[in-house]
Structure 1
Amino acid sequence: MAEKLKDTTVPNPPTADLLATVGLKPEEYAEACRKLGRLPNIVEMGIIGAMWSEHCCYKSSKIHLKTFPVTGKRVLQGPGEQAGVLDLGNDYALVFKIESHNHPSAVEPFQGAATGVGGIIRDIFAMGARPLALLDSLRFGNTYPVEAVGNPEADKAVDEQPQEAADGSGDKLNIPWGDSPVPFVCTVSWMTTMRQQLFERGPEARAAVKAIREMHTGDVHVLAYCVLPDQIQLALYLENGREEEAEAAVAALKEKLAEVVAPQTQGKPPWDSFVMLHPRHSGSELMEAIHLLEFAPVTRQKVAQVSDYKYVSQVWRYGVPWLDDETDNTEARELPYCAGVNDKQAARSRYLVNGVVEGIAHYGNCIGIPTIGGELVFDPSYTSNCLVNAMCVGVVRKDRIHKARADGPGNVAMIVGARTGRDGVQGATFSSVELAEDVAESRPAVQVGDPFMEKLLLEATLEILDMPGLVGIQDFGAAGLTCSSVEMTAKSGTGMRLDLDAVPQRAKDLSAYEMMLSESQERMMIIVEKGSEDSFREVFSRWGLTAVDCGEIIGEQRIEVLHDGAVVANLPNRPLADEGPEYDRPHEAPASWKNRHLLDDRDIAAALERINKLPVATELAGHSLPAPGSDFEDILRRLLMHPSVADKWPVYQRYDWSVRTNTLLGPQGSDAAVIRIKETGQGVAMCTDGNGRAVSLDPRIGAAQCVLEAARNIVASGAEPLGITNNLNFGNPEKPDRMWQFVESIGGIGDALRKLDLPVTGGNVSLYNESGGRGILPTPVIGMVGLLEKAEQAIPSRCTDSGLELFVLGTHHARLDASLLMYDIARLRSGMLEEPDYKQFISCMNFILHAAGEGAIRACHDVSDGGLLVALVEMLAGAQVDVAPLLAEGYDMGDHNRLATLFAEDGNRWLLAVGPERKSWIRTAALHYQVPLTPLGRSVDGRLTVSGGDEEWFGCDWDVLETCRRYGLQAALSGD
């Protein structure tokens, strides 16, 4: 450990233990020697190891992070500084960022979480902003025992198991395939192109539109859903903008049709017993096509041939046509693995939750910054690796924004704030590896926080912002003095000579190694013009803080460190800050991805059977519960009492979320918390959102859905989304399947941001969240901010008045895949996701923002975890709803479709409560914006009644549902 590394000499070659201690791989050590032209000593090795750690240099991720959109009309500062800055359209700007403290919190939950909060606060006021609000995104293992299900071997990383070749279903057809299936086009090409408004180009396109409309008005053969008229082929080529190219492509496809159809059908009517899809289609297109094929018989009742539909899921699974009338579709599928939680693990998760929440509450409450929102999620994958992500939002006058600069040779570097100790030594390298089985051994790497000291540092820092002579400010974060000195000088093209003998110490006999790598909290570095030091010292002294000269800026781009009068480190800063390792690591989808399928009736039946075997709760946190009156009520109760859904008051009651009196909508008042900016009258909405369930099934689409979920919450509060900061929490990047999850997730986030025209202003990457060979669910967390020009127009998510008209805004595909019901309650961790409809989302957003400005919406709540019924219970005090308007023509009343209607989470939907006097206005506005607005029912007192047309599906007392929602988390945290 670090305390043993006081000798600056290093054996040549260094031992494996020494390299592991400083966080360098052998090849990285060799590269460092090459760049230096000599062997580094132990202090230099520690500096290099910290600066080249995953935590500081993003060596596995930066090649992919470069693909994010980072510019926009409001962006004043993007990635690269301590926090992002967005223009509020006046003299003020919004400063915000999210950071993780995962590893420290897993080891020492109270201090790990507290110092995570302290660090993100310093990032904000180091930019010159006053912090106004905190949010947190927390994830833990289950707090009660659950059994493992599925085959654990199926969950191994790609590089840990042999890969089998995909089954060539073309062999079953006995068709002379070439190297790849012959290209054909399915309905989804038409649908996607219609959404992009590309079909209005050219007479061929208009003819295609006419043909497809005729198909969908009469009886159609299954061929119509797989291969459309010749003109439809044009959809794939319209983006090129040259019709002659499209015509040539269509002609080529016609030839292929003639060549292939006859031998494929083997004398049978065309397309009688198999389905063919275009191999060029993206996963989203295929999924939408499968959805059409699978549900056409029950939603339209117009398809002549339905015998092929049982093979549709195989189209996706094998990627080639499927033909086998005798295939046994009743054979049970192997369940994806879902880890269990034993009594000891559950008890530790309860300990972690309590410690983390106490740490957040202690630091935020003491420093006087309200914690006004966030999320709390439980899943077995987080048992050994909890996630603690903290976000802070502040406001600054644009002329007071400061950056981490070290300009001007001869200027003075000062350390201000707390004294330096041994806590947190090597915290950066500790956070860049997998946690050890015995986490107690890692306690010295966890920092210790003092919020009262930070409050003094905050006020003193804000006071010096307008003083002449201030050059730059940077927080001491990861790697402490090392990171601050290296990063500030590298940005400015300068260097620094540090004198460690001047560093204030609170521990005896600190070595140079320890002082350079200590992460003692509540410390900052300021760069001031030579000769102005005394004026800055006077301010910090008045606040009871130390401020000492610790170095000077030099013209040469080097970091020179002196201790006991001798040079103990002399390193070029460019290689440390800008030329660290950059890995393009191998990434490959796991076998579970290649074998995935849409949930079908077999899956739903198996899930219901599993749910029916679960014990029925008769008591919850001391409150008795009557027996459920129906299966629907039983499922709804289970969802409401699930700790990821249940009311979070056991957590929020520990937070002071109203301090400073800026909070308009706090942690239980809206989908996004809203604060008032008193100087401008504007409101700022903010939220954190992630969905490990969805990302685990499809990292690209799932990550995009995380962005949309955050945007839905911002919009639900009446605010316009402005931008995001993200925290990317993933497993070991050295395993190809984990890296594949990371790469795909970045692609999905980027896709969504470009569609919504939103920038990333910064964030954090947390890798190696893995223990014992099993990683967490891939968990990108989106921190989003939005703007209300008039703060008083903020919309709450809850309204207990009766007599309100209820509407569902938006549509969904009635899929239970990745839903809380399937994934957590039934523990069926399989399925596929639908590609988001961004165009509809934007239309719905504009509609809500207009309605909010008119004061037409009494409450707005997005439909997410738990689906429609959970949203109703969270929003109201009673409701009488008829879901018939949500059902398509010829709706099948089977379990799958009913459950999907009530509990599906896919699509972009909001639940609106509108006063009866605004009913006509809201419907007219929906027509104007061309958004799907479906009447659902009205709010009543004390009861939930759900019907589908003339048939009542079920009804139950609201008090029972509210008891489940109110006390579910309390029971989980007590171990019940």
Structure 2
Amino acid sequence: MPVTQETLDEIALSRDEYEAIIDRLGREPEPLELGLFGALWSEHCGYKHTKALLRTLPSSSDRLLVAPGAENAGVVDLGDGLAVCFKIESHNHPSAVEPFEGAATGVGGIIRDIFAMGARPIALLNSLRFGQPDDARTRYLLNGVIGGISSYGNCIGIPDVGGEIFFSDTYKGNPLVNAMCVGLIENGKMASASAKEPGDLLMLVGADTGRDGIHGASGLASRSFEEQAEMRSAVQVGNPFLEKVLIEACIESLDLPGVVGLQDCGAAGITSAAIEMAERSGMGLKLTIDDVPRREEGMTPYEVMLSESQERMLLAVTHGMEGPVFDLFEKWDLDATVIGEFELGENVRIYDEGVEVSSTPVITLTDAPEYKFAGVKPQWLTDLQNADLSATPIPSESPSEILLKMLASPNIASRFPIYRQYDYHVQTNTVVEPGGDAAVLRLKGSKRGIAVSTDCNGRICYLDPEIGTAIAVAEACRNLSVTGALPVALTDGLNFGNPETPDVQFQLTESIAGMGRAADAFGIPIVSGNASLYNQSQGTDIFPTPIIGSLGLLKDVEKHVTAGFKSDGDVIIMLGADSAWDDIDGLAGSEYLDLIHGKVEGQPKLDMDLEIRTQAVCRDAIEKGLVKSGHDVSDGGLAVAITESAVIGGIGASITAAPGERWDAAMFGETQSRIIVSATSENLSEIEKLAQVSNVPMVALGTVGGESLSFGDSITLPLADADDAWKNGFSRATAD
């Protein structure tokens, strides 16, 4: 008997997809099978609307040890016997329903993806989006999410070292909570999420299974939603102390000769973890789910298979060699139970109390439909891009007043009130703390270090998804380069609205094209990622927000710089431009235009060749010890970037050139490819030579020193006033 539309809606399958299941099976699916299909064909697990586009992304590099898609995360060689794997994932919809647990379990899930590769997690980052903080519900979501992130990371003992946050009404009903984890692999000890031969046992380790998280992947993460109380059961509950032990036990288990595979039990629970292991292994699988340890009575096979209870892992273990594995997990006071066996054949066969309740071809379950579309640019976007920015009125407030407003904006002000809640020094690897362009970590036992960052301006991506995403890649790499690190790999978190609409299809198509173009230009691979679609509320899509996580390599971790100015008399230099001030086109999609005039319009631009050359000159100057500080010019423009460097360094600055009549565009425009560095006057000529050789424009702007900020004749501001606005603006904006 055909299923009802209500049942299909519950598991986020369309009627056409249901008919495709019948066609592939040659029969109606059993209720349990339908649940399996709903999970594995979900947007979260099956990538139905993005698979074809993601295949176009660059994924090759001399450093690449594990290609994207082959395992839970890509792996990049760092040299000195060290490799790193990293990945970003979203937990948007769960966090909108239950912010603390949604964010906490998002952190827990991405950590498991990393240590499933055999890597020891060494750093966490996050990328967050909310509605405007003057809204009470936004503050509730913000406080809950930050609380969940800090609680899980602090308890598990992995430093939260960076990230970013952005506020806009477009995210009011649908916040974005993306978590990134970086893990270190030593001496090539990588794990694979597969079995080796028929007869290998499937072992479940960690927490008992409950009813939490059922339909999390298919329901919450794969369709549009409006908050409803009954959806809270689809949000998992995490236990970071248990996961801490699970990390140690699983990494230690990889040294046992019988352990041949390791897999995270995350989205869709045992369903995705076990069946995807079987697919990777090219084998069938027999599951005896009545052996699964449960913390609740009366659970059905459907509930056991689809539960997303946290802190669980699957191991593939050679038959007859499971004894030492049991002993190891008993030592760590963790449950370990054999729940299945890999076998010759093509089906996953599920048994409950000796009765076969389901038998389905593995490839049929994992081969989700693939939707292709050609995006068509909407007329409304052309109109926004063609807006006359020169018609923007000059504010009646003084330049000093506007600068203070910009510094106090929740999109610019210091995030110290957030990251003060994180333990970012645990593991004692953190060299550069949160608060700058990128965090820097030492790699113990080596001179090398890594820099990590996340970045994306959804407002710019809204105005031009292709150029905006290329800018996100460029800025994520720029964040690394201003520390001295060479960008070597990227991960992406694609956050978009309803992919069934033409506008979002255009945004997805253009955005992924821009990402690929930019990554190709930098010559670095995208090693992992995540797609979160259907991010909308009350029929309104979020800004397209393709978050880019970047990782860079420092051959000598001691040769890094930070954003703050250092010494009186140092020269302030801008790389990437030969004019001190921006022009009117730089206002496109800027924080100034949105904050002061309430407009999001204009045509963003990016000269990719200039971007790459500018970053290379910056890194070269840092490597040669010619500069004392480096800072990216981004949100808020040049005046904000210089002020941030002054406030961070606790020392003033004097900019000699006058901004001109359009001082607002000059000071607060956001033209790309600009970097602020400071250096002694003796080193200025050497920096000029580097720039000339690479055909990179540069200009000396002024000098460091004093207790005030001055920009020509336009602004003379006590540093203390700027310090107060920037350091306390976020707390004031988010206060109840």
TM-score where L is the length of structure 2: 0.97
Indicate whether 1:61 and 2:50 are aligned: yes
Match of 1:130 among 120, 133, 155: 120
* Offset at residue 586 of structure 1 (A): 5.4
Checking the alignment, whether the CA contact within 8 Å between 1:713 and 1:862 is kept in structure 2 is yes
Letter matched to residue 31 of structure 1: A
**Is it true that 1:824 corresponds to 2:595 in the alignment?**
yes
Matched, 1:36 2:25: yes
Structure-1 residue corresponding to 2:334:
545
**SS at structure 1 position matched to 2:202:** strand
1:914 and 2:708 are equivalent in the alignment: no
Structure 2: distance between partners of 1:557 and 1:407? 15
Aligned to 1:710: 476
2:428 is the alignment partner of 1:661: yes
Structure 2 letter corresponding to 1:783: G
**Structure 1 residue 438: Cα displacement:** 3.1
Aligned partner of 2:81 in structure 1 is: 91
Q: Alpha-carbon deviations, 1:679-699, whole Å to 9, x = none?
A: 222110000001101000011
> 1:964: how far off?
0.7
Secondary structure at the aligned position of 2:412 is classed as coil
After superposition, give the CA deviation of every residue in 1:574-600 in whole Å (9 maximum; x if it has no partner): 1212x2111114532222113234453
Partner of 1:855: 625
Confirm or deny: 8 A CA contact 1:599 1:817 kept in the other structure: no
2:662 is aligned with 1:873:
no
Preserved contact between residue 385 and residue 463 of structure 2 (Cα < 8 Å) = no
Three-state SS of the structure 2 residue aligned to 1:777 is coil
Superposition deviation, residue 856 in structure 1: 1.4
* Equivalent of 2:466 in 675, 700, 703: 700
Q: After the TM superposition, which residues 556-567 of structure 1 pair with which residues of structure 2 at under 5 Å, given as runs?
A: 556-567=345-356
Which aligned pairs between 1:368-407 and structure 2 lie closer than 5 A?
368-407=157-196
Matched-pair contact (CA < 8 Å) for 1:725–1:762: yes
Structure 2 vs 1, CA of residues 111 and 641 (structure 1 numbering), >3 Å: closer, same or farther?
Answer: same
**Structure 1 residues 483-498: aligned runs within 5 Å:** 483-498=272-287
Query: Could you tell me how far 1:435 is from its partner in structure 2?
Result: 4.3
Residues 566, 628 of structure 2: 8 Å contact kept: no
In structure 2, give the amino acid aligned to 1:652.
Y
Any idea what the Cα deviations from partners look like across 1:88-123, whole Å, max 9, x if unmatched? 123111110000000000100000000000011111
Preserved CA contact (<8 Å) 1:434 1:770: no
Q: Distance in 2 between matches of 1:469 and 1:434?
A: 41
How many residues get paired?
Answer: 726
Alignment of 1:686-765 (within 5 A): 686-765=452-531
- Deviation of 1:440 after TM superposition, in Å, equals 2.2
- Whole-angstrom CA distance in 2 between matches of 1:901 and 1:602: 12
Cα distance change of structure 1 residues 632 and 412 upon mapping to structure 2, 3 Å threshold: same
Question: Is 1:930 matched with 2:678?
Answer: no
Structure 2 counterpart of 1:6 = none
Q: Confirm whether residue 107 of structure 1 aligns to residue 87 of structure 2.
A: no
Quick one: distance in 2 between partners of 1:807 and 1:587?
A: 42
2:321, 2:377 → 1: CA distance? 58
Alignment partner of 2:413 out of 623, 643, 646? 646
Cα deviation, residue 919, structure 1: 2.5
Deviates more, 1:852-861 or 1:370-379: 852-861
Give the Cα–Cα distance (whole angstroms) in 2 for the partners of residues 631 and 813 of structure 1: 19
Cα distance in structure 2, aligned partners of 1:665 and 1:761: 24
The offset of 1:398, in angstroms, is 4.5
In structure 2, what is the Cα distance between the partners aligned to 1:601 and 1:570? 62
1:809 touches 1:911 (CA, 8 Å); kept in 2? yes
Inter-CA distance 31–817: structure 2 relative to 1 (3 Å threshold): same
Q: Which amino acid aligns with 2:54?
A: L
Identity of aligned residues (%): 43
Alignment partner of 2:384: what SS?
coil
Match for 1:140 among 125, 130, 143? 130
1:966 aligns with 2:727: yes
User: Does the C-alpha gap of structure 1 residues 675 and 556 become closer, same or farther in structure 2, counting only changes over 3 Å?
Assistant: same
- CA distance in structure 2 between the aligned counterparts of 1:825 and 1:871, rounded to whole angstroms: 18
Question: Does structure 2 conserve the Cα–Cα contact (< 8 Å) formed by 1:585 and 1:734?
Answer: no
Report the counterpart of residue 40 of structure 2 in structure 1: 51
**Residue 589 of structure 1: aligned partner:** 377
Give the SS at the match of 2:24.
helix
Partners of 2:652 and 2:709 within 8 A in 1:
yes
Separation in 2 of the partners of 1:601 and 1:440?
Answer: 45
Q: How far apart, in 2, do the equivalents of 1:548 and 1:523 lie?
A: 11
Tell me the distance in 1 between the aligned counterparts of 2:475 and 2:308: 35
Note the C-alpha offset of 1:602. 5.2
In structure 2, the residue matched to 1:116 is: 106
For the residues of structure 2 that align with 1:510 and 1:402, how far apart are their CA atoms? Answer: 32
Scaled by the length of structure 1, the TM-score of the pair is 0.73
Is contact 2:59–2:526 with CA below 8 Å preserved after alignment?
A: yes
Q: Which residue does 2:439 correspond to in 1?
A: 673
Listed one character per residue, the Cα deviations across residues 208-228 of structure 1 (whole Å, up to 9, x for unaligned) are xxxxxxxxxxxxxxxxxxxxx
For 1:108, give the aligned amino acid. E
Secondary structure, aligned partner of 2:319: coil
Deviation, structure 1 residue 31: 0.9
2:268 maps to 1:479: yes
Q: What is the CA-CA distance between 1:956 and the residue it aligns to?
A: 1.3
Ranges in structure 2 where 5+ consecutive residues have no aligned partner: none
Equivalent in the alignment of 1:957: 718
Q: What is the SS of the residue equivalent to 2:714?
A: strand
Q: For 2:54 and 2:552, how far apart are their aligned partners in 1?
A: 23
| Distance (whole Å) between structure 1 residues aligned to residue 705 and residue 228 of structure 2 | 52
SS in 1 for 2:360: strand
- Report what 1:240 is aligned to: none
Higher Rg? 1
SS across alignment from 1:793: coil
| Contact 1:407–1:494, Cα closer than 8 Å, also in 2 | no
Deviation per CA, 1:783-817: give whole Å up to 9, x if none. 00000000101111113532221000002665211
Contact 1:800 1:875 in 2 (8 A): no
1:600 pairs, out of 378, 384, 388, with: 388
Mapping of residues 144-543 of structure 1, within 5 Å: 144=134, 346-543=135-332
Q: CA deviation at 1:724?
A: 0.3
Distance 1:386 1:40 in 2: 36
Cα offset, 1:516, TM superposition: 0.4
Partner of 2:448: 682
AA of the residue aligned to 2:430:
T
Partner amino acid for 1:651?
A: I
1:678 is paired with a residue whose SS is coil
For 1:40 and 1:905, the matched residues in 2 are separated by 55
RCO greater where, 1 or 2, for CA within 8 Å and sep 6 or more?
A: 1
1:946 corresponding residue in structure 2? 711
CA contact (8 A) 1:587 1:735 kept: no
Q: Cα RMSD (Å) of the superposition?
A: 1.4
Native 8 Å contact 1:78 1:760 kept in 2: no
Change (3 A) 1:598 1:813: farther
CA distance in 2, matches of 1:716, 1:598: 33
Q: Which residue of 2 aligns with 1:882?
A: 656
Tell me which amino acid in the other structure corresponds to 2:457. Answer: N
SS for the counterpart of 1:399 is coil
Q: Secondary structure at the match of 2:498?
A: coil
Partners of 1:813 and 1:907 within 8 A in 2: no
Residue 492 of structure 1 aligns with an amino acid whose one-letter code is S
Superposition deviation, residue 749 in structure 1: 0.6
Higher strand share: 2
